[in-house]
Amino acid sequence: MTDRGRQAGTDIEPARPERKTSAEEMRWEEKVLKPALERSPQRQKTFTTLSGVPIEMLCTPADLAGFDYGRDLGDPGEYPYTRGIHQTMYRGRLWTMRQFSGFGTPEDTNQRLHYLLKAGQTGLSIAFDLPTLMGYDSDHTLAEGEVGKCGVAVSSLADMETLLAGLPLEQITTSMTINSPAAMIWAMYLVVAEKNGANWQKISGTTQNDILKEYIAQKEYIYPPQPSMRLVVDTIIFSARQVPRWNPISISGYHIREAGSTAVQELAFTLRDGIEYVEWVKRAGAAVDEFAPRLSFFFNAHNDLFEEIAKYRAARKIWARLMRERFGARNPRSWTCRFHTQTAGCSLTAQQPYNNVIRTTLQALAAVLGGTQSLHTNSLDEAWALPTQEAVTLALRTQQVLAHESGVVNTVDPLAGSYFIEKLTLETERACYAYFNKIDALGGMVAAIEKGYPQKEIHDAAYAYQQAIERKEKIIVGVNEHVTEETRPIEILVIDENVARRQRAKLAELRARRDNARVQAGLQALGSAATTDQNLMPYILECVRAYATLGEMCDVLRRVFGTYEEPAFR
Amino acid sequence: MPERKIRILVAKPGLDGHDRGAKIVARALRDAGMEVIYTGLRQTPEQIATAALQEDVDAVGISILSGAHNTIVPRICELLRQQGMEDTLVLVGGIVPDEDIPALKQAGVAAVFQPGAVTQDIVEFIRAHAKRAASELRGGTVDSQQSTVDS
């Protein structure tokens, strides 16, 4: 590691020399390029990435003035990890193929999980339905019409037992996309492990648990930001001390991008969220190297191949620098930005759905060339509904073809040294630090969210993108160009209302059968602890063991913490 | 007489928080000169119907991406009817498969805008069909020869 990195300010991009066009380049531009352009001009005046970053026709060594291999890239597995967090990358081990999956009852999803493992998937990823994500039981009035629709319904430990039946919890890693009630759902997973004899020291997986991006983008929040952050801090500290191989948070840009942000906004807001979590956990008394090695990230893979690759490479470099310089982390594992990638759901089109297979393939390629640790590839039918088994199998096959047939896995960071990729990586990095400075000036991410800053930035970008499509400045095949009249050529998955009926019946039976005195005592203890600064995980675990429902636990905290409603930002 | 703008309630029922579409449509309608009231997230059918009445809107645009449209949308239409707003234009946008459209139209929905819809089409549809658009705005414009819907 160089001293230059250490001397630089914590967040300030090191100064770089100006681009100087060489005499040879000037000659080429004047004598070769100019006449060529006169004969046949370019198709359009300017070119940009999908996010609107200008792209020059040609990048040359002049674009990398001051570029330093050791400082800007480093070798794989070494600071600043631009080339990848592992020395051998996919030559050692392929990425984890992890299809996000969940629908209907826990029985339905359990079958799908077993099927995916049999089909060669190497990790599990569970999607919960909206009532679960919002902390309501399946029998709540607000759950009507929503049970099992966008994911699996889980209202209690009994549901979690069914969901995980027959799965070897010490051998597989499980990712759970759950945020506001992450502590409760994670506690259910831990208790199932405990009852199955799986050791908490050995089990591994991820809870998304990223509440900041909920306020920013996905909007599935229950409590106000401050108490929500306390729950996140409690889970991170509990995890570091009791479930050491668990990733207690997946700091997510995916949803920020889906809400319409640019690539740079996705990266900047996600990493700035990461800074916020580190600051909060440190303030709660944990040392940075105690928990930082288990912070994980989650990015989107959108259509623009090079822009995405640059984003992943910049992410690793920036995070390494933040952790080492801003937070003084000494353990190299604290410096690494480990991330999951999902191809862009918002890029899928309802029109000509087979085109989505091609889009997903290119996006997955970007993630792999960008050095992802795990990957979800979307299915062709997801602009319409949750995927059918056939569609999800094709999506998994896409990853397997990339891994075993394309050859892109055979060398580490194959695009390094490309003038264009390196320039784009540096520009992404610079733009990201500019956002950090703005958010720091607003008083940090929680304060910025309360002022509506990231929300407004994303909305403006989303509106500009939509307008560009409507003006045909951006072409989406099958949507605003190459349009055909067609009826939908594919079958889609339908979740019927029987799922809700079955879930309601199971809950009624559970509420009658369990030890209700133990449930009430547990809930009361949780409520009291919430008014102190004790870690809430032990109290939540006790409620779960007593088969208190998700809704009951969340309601106790609703009473203590209050609920959040987004202010109107224009 | 000063022209009264078309008033529209953009509503987000159900539990899903995906408000990208609702906010883009709201902004496009505002840019097209309409008065837009956005309910915010997770409104019940009762809250939406009450807001439509209080705000005296010409149209209600419902954005829903969670798959709960078959349960929620007919209930909103029914509540609007109960409070005498049967001539209020009801539009739905979001992930609604073709199969579900006939039942929604039966329930009182004028149009469903599926993924890939263009905001300009939504603007034009509302201009052409909203009650006040028909009876007041069109009078005196180039379209004045056209017969109006509810005059």
Using the beta-carbon criterion (under 8 Å), do A260 and B67 form an inter-chain contact?
no
Using the beta-carbon criterion (under 8 Å), do B67 and A495 form an inter-chain contact?
yes
Pick from A355, A359, A322, A352: nearest CA to A337? A322
Using the beta-carbon criterion (under 8 Å), do A146 and B24 form an inter-chain contact?
no
- The answer, for B33 touching chain A at a CB cutoff of 8 Å, is no
- The answer, for A115 touching chain B at a CB cutoff of 8 Å, is no
pLDDT tens digits for A145-157? Answer: 999 999 999 999 9
> What pLDDT is recorded for position B2?
59
- The answer, for B140 touching chain A at a CB cutoff of 8 Å, is no
Alpha-carbon gap, residue A132 to A122, rounded angstroms: 25
Give the residue with greater pLDDT, A7 vs A561: A561
Alpha-carbon gap, residue A113 to A517, rounded angstroms: 35
Alpha-carbon gap, residue B143 to A6, rounded angstroms: 70
Unique residue bearing structure tokens 């208790």: A191
Residue A220: which of B17, B40, B44 has the nearest Cβ? B17
- The answer, for A568 touching chain B at a CB cutoff of 8 Å, is yes
Residue A146: which of B66, B95, B116 has the nearest Cβ? B66
Q: Identify the weakest region by mean pLDDT among A7-11, A250-254, A398-402.
A: A7-11
Residue B97: which of A143, A258, A492 has the nearest Cβ? A492
pLDDT tens digits for B120-150? Answer: 999 999 999 987 644 554 443 433 333 333 3
Q: Are B33 and A234 in contact (CB under 8 A)?
A: no
From chain A, the residues in CB contact with B39 under 8 A are none
The answer, yes or no, to whether residue A421 has pLDDT greater than 80, is: yes
Kindly calculate the radius of gyration of chain B based on its CA atoms and give it in whole angstroms: 15
Residue B1 pLDDT level (bands cut at 50, 70, 90): low
A47-75+208-470 CATH pick, 2.40.50.1070, 3.40.190.10, 3.20.20.240, 3.40.47.10? 3.20.20.240
Residue A149: which of B19, B68, B97 has the nearest Cβ? B68
Token pair, residue A99, equals 């299809």
Residue B151 pLDDT level (bands cut at 50, 70, 90): very low
Percent of chain A predicted with pLDDT > 90? 91
Residue A497 pLDDT level (bands cut at 50, 70, 90): confident
All domains of chain B in start order, with CATH:
7-137 (3.40.50.280)
Using the beta-carbon criterion (under 8 Å), do A568 and B71 form an inter-chain contact?
no
Burial (0-12, 13-18, 19+ Cβ within 10 Å), A116 = buried
Alpha-carbon gap, residue A370 to A409, rounded angstroms: 11
CA of A262, closest CA in chain B: separation in Å?
A: 14
Domain ranges of chain A: 47-75+208-470
Alpha-carbon gap, residue A432 to A425, rounded angstroms: 11
Pick from A253, A311, A317, A320: nearest CA to A292? A320
Bridge partners, A96 (sequence order): A374
Using the beta-carbon criterion (under 8 Å), do B68 and A495 form an inter-chain contact?
no
pLDDT tens digits for A448-478? Answer: 999 999 999 999 999 999 999 999 999 999 9
Average pLDDT over residues A400-407: 98
- The answer, for B44 touching chain A at a CB cutoff of 8 Å, is yes
- The answer, for A485 touching chain B at a CB cutoff of 8 Å, is no
- ipTM confidence: 0.89
- Cα dihedral angle (B16, B22, B24, B27), rounded to 10 degrees? -140
CA of B116, closest CA in chain A: separation in Å?
A: 6
The answer, yes or no, to whether residue B9 has pLDDT greater than 60, is: yes
Alpha-carbon gap, residue B112 to B121, rounded angstroms: 11
Strand, coil or helix: A206: strand
Burial (0-12, 13-18, 19+ Cβ within 10 Å), A512 = exposed
pLDDT tens digits for A313-347? Answer: 999 999 999 999 999 999 999 999 999 999 999 99
- The answer, for B150 touching chain A at a CB cutoff of 8 Å, is no
Mean pLDDT of all residues belonging to chain A: 95
Using the beta-carbon criterion (under 8 Å), do B67 and A219 form an inter-chain contact?
no
Mean pLDDT of all residues belonging to chain B: 87
Q: Are A423 and A130 in contact (CB under 8 A)?
A: no
> What pLDDT is recorded for position A496?
84
CA of B150, closest CA in chain A: separation in Å?
A: 32
Using the beta-carbon criterion (under 8 Å), do B95 and A459 form an inter-chain contact?
no
The answer, yes or no, to whether residue A78 has pLDDT greater than 80, is: yes
Pick from A505, A305, A493: nearest CA to B97? A493
CA of A405, closest CA in chain B: separation in Å?
A: 34
> What pLDDT is recorded for position A173?
94
Alpha-carbon gap, residue A539 to A530, rounded angstroms: 9
> What pLDDT is recorded for position A5?
36
Using the beta-carbon criterion (under 8 Å), do B14 and A219 form an inter-chain contact?
no
Residue A8 pLDDT level (bands cut at 50, 70, 90): very low
Give the nearest chain B residue to A215 (CA atoms). Answer: B17
